[in-house]
Amino acid sequence: MKNFRKSVSPSAAQKLVSKHSSLAKLLGCLLILAGNTISSSHAEDQKTNAAVLPSFVFDSNVDEYNAAYQKAQRVIERDIRNGKFIAGKGWPQVWTRDSSFSTDLALALFQPKVSLDTLLGLKEEVSGIGECWIQDFCGHFGGWPNLSDAIVGAIGAWQLYLVSGDKTDLRTFYTRTVNSLKRAERDAYQADTGLFGGCSSYMESNSAYPAKYAMNGPLVAKTAALSNVALYYQGYVIAALMADRLGENGAPFRVKAEALKKAINKHFWQEDKGYYGYFLDEDRKLSPGMEGLGEALCIKFGIASPEQARRILASTPTTPNGYPCLWPQWPEYLNYSGRNSTFYHNGMIWPFVQGYWAWGAVDQGNLVKFDEEFRNLTKLSQKTDTFQEFYLPEDGHPKGSQDQLWSASGYLSMIAHGLLGMNFEENGIRFAPVVPSNITSLSLKGIPYRQSTLDVKIAGNGTRVLSFLLDGKPLEKPFLDSSVKGSHQVEIQLVEPGLFAKFVNWFHR
């Protein structure tokens, strides 16, 4: 059962489930039926979605990559309803988690207006606090504070600002982020560890935890999961950055971020394994398995040092078909014959998690790991005419819902942040492409960036930039200033490390 939100206040729904856990199952079933009804009623909306899609044109010499890119864009198109993102086929509601991760991964670039309109609506009034990012709700564990990852909204909002440079709604997002941090400090902070309690972000089903936690949200709330605390670290970092831009004092948020980073490394890092543990249980004992999203976020957010990041990429368990959401699997949830909710977080391959794992590899310049995951997700995408919710680790068999927003976003992220190496900063785009050896031609055209439209073309392989041309003129660094206006051509020449060394030796002879 996927996470779902009922059309009542989250607090009311949470009380309902916490008092009668069996009602959670009934509520989930009713919402699934309601979701299917809503989905069919929006056929007309789907017909008009093509009009809101920016005209990006991706091309490479590898037909499979081109086809997967086109498929991902079609999935995104089908997941726009009334100008906002839904989670996927059969899930027509708007989710904080799905939308925010998708915006961060790719849609701040590929769908900025829909991203903004969706994020603006992800709010709820919290008594004694004010407007916060709205917390998603699930059938197995309930809502806040058993689930406490609503701060993920800040991650999507900040990426959107970096791409657009538009401060119009920054104050709104800043207030919402600060209030969400206050709410978590009040309701979910664990003073003895310096961490935040609550379920792993998005893995809010029984199958993500040992059997003793089944249908027991209050017990899950006493644990602390890697992905969730990583999101809170980044929430503090983003609050500080937003405060700086708005003339507020960001220093207190930086202090809290640093303290949380230290607590994460103290309680989760496993020196003998070379990666972080999954969750700290109610007795403060670390579950030593890996959590896919958490490992990736620790690399991306800089919680892991460069050496830790290198070891995580080298040591974290994976599968031949793709990077799993957790490992090892829980033996009590290895039967795949039942409903998806009975196993779908038990070591399954979720494409959006693959997207973050690949992004982490890109940030570390790890071409081998990026290429591995990019090829894996491309192969998985070929199994159906859509991007599925998840895939089985043993054989890559597609499972779950179709047309998953964040699954398609994970693939687009691999193209934008990986192959093209686009890193959005406040003052421009820093390019650091990661191009495998089987790609001999690569381009993305028609990229709307602030006041300009860009055509980006990359030649060569590897991660080292030999030359960076803007409209045929060489620039000293692979960086495009945000002040550019109009249409521009960006050309990047890469050279593999061995060839670069030979070139340097020849040049200095």
pLDDT 10s digits, 303-350:
999 999 999 999 999 999 999 999 999 999 999 998 999 999 999 999
Give the pLDDT confidence score for residue 160 in this predicted structure. 98
- Residue 52: pLDDT above 60? no
- Give me the amino acid identity at 144: W
Q: What angle do CA 460, 429, 485 make, to 5 degrees?
A: 110
- Residue 295: pLDDT above 50? yes
CA–CA separation, 33 and 78 (whole Å):
19
Q: Which two tokens stand for residue 103?
A: 């915006």
In DSSP notation, 80-128 reads EETTEE--BTTB-S--HHHHHHHIIIIIHHH-HHHHHHHHHT-EEEETT
Backbone angles phi and psi of 147, in degrees to 5: -105, 130
Any idea where the domains of the chain sit in the sequence?
A: 10-419, 442-507
Residue bearing tokens 């406490």: 148
In DSSP notation, 188-250 reads TEETTTTEE-BPPSS--SGGGS-GGGTT-HHHHTTSEEHHHHHHHHHHHHHHHHHHHHTTS--
The residue among 13 and 383 whose pLDDT is bigger is 383
Confidence of residue 4 (pLDDT cuts 50, 70, 90): very low
Beta strands in 127-173 (DSSP E): 130-133
Confidence of residue 27 (pLDDT cuts 50, 70, 90): very low
- Residue 62: pLDDT above 50? yes
Q: Which two tokens stand for residue 281?
A: 């249980």
Give the pLDDT confidence score for residue 135 in this predicted structure. 98
Under 8 Å between Cβ of 67 and 56: no
Give the pLDDT confidence score for residue 37 in this predicted structure. 33
Tell me the Cα Rg of the chain.
22
CA–CA separation, 231 and 181 (whole Å):
11
**Span 452-490, pLDDT tens digits:** 999 999 999 999 999 999 999 999 999 999 999 999 999
- Residue 24: pLDDT above 70? no
- Residue 301: pLDDT above 70? yes
- Give me the amino acid identity at 150: A
Residue bearing tokens 């039967």: 335
Confidence of residue 42 (pLDDT cuts 50, 70, 90): very low
Q: How many residues does the chain have?
A: 509
Under 8 Å between Cβ of 151 and 235: yes
User: Within 13 A of 476's CA, how many CA atoms are on the CB side?
Assistant: 1
Partner residues linked to 447 by β-bridges: 454
Q: What is the mean pLDDT of residues 433-437?
A: 98
Give the pLDDT confidence score for residue 499 in this predicted structure. 57
Q: What is the mean pLDDT of residues 263-288?
A: 98
CA–CA separation, 418 and 436 (whole Å):
10
Q: Which two tokens stand for residue 62?
A: 């590898």
Q: Which two tokens stand for residue 462?
A: 């590897």
CA–CA separation, 76 and 53 (whole Å):
9
Confidence of residue 496 (pLDDT cuts 50, 70, 90): confident
Confidence of residue 498 (pLDDT cuts 50, 70, 90): low
Q: What number does CATH give the domain 442-507?
A: 2.60.420.10
Percent of the chain predicted with pLDDT > 70: 87
Cβ contacts of 432 within 8 Å, gap of 6 or more: 362, 365, 421, 423, 463, 465, 478
Q: Considering Cα of 204, then 210, then 216, then 218, what sign does the dihedral take? A: negative
pTM: 0.91
- The DSSP symbol for 417 reads I
**Span 225-246, pLDDT tens digits:** 999 999 999 999 999 999 999 9
Q: Considering Cα of 347, then 409, then 314, then 264, what sign does the dihedral take? A: negative
Under 8 Å between Cβ of 400 and 326: no
Backbone angles phi and psi of 153, in degrees to 5: -55, -35
Under 8 Å between Cβ of 141 and 18: no
Give the pLDDT confidence score for residue 92 in this predicted structure. 87
- Residue 50: pLDDT above 50? no
Q: Which two tokens stand for residue 77?
A: 């198109």
Q: Which two tokens stand for residue 384?
A: 């159906």
CATH number belonging to the domain at 10-419, selected among 2.40.30.170, 1.50.10.10, 3.40.50.300, 1.10.10.60:
1.50.10.10
Q: What angle do CA 213, 394, 348 make, to 5 degrees?
A: 35
CA–CA separation, 412 and 279 (whole Å):
30
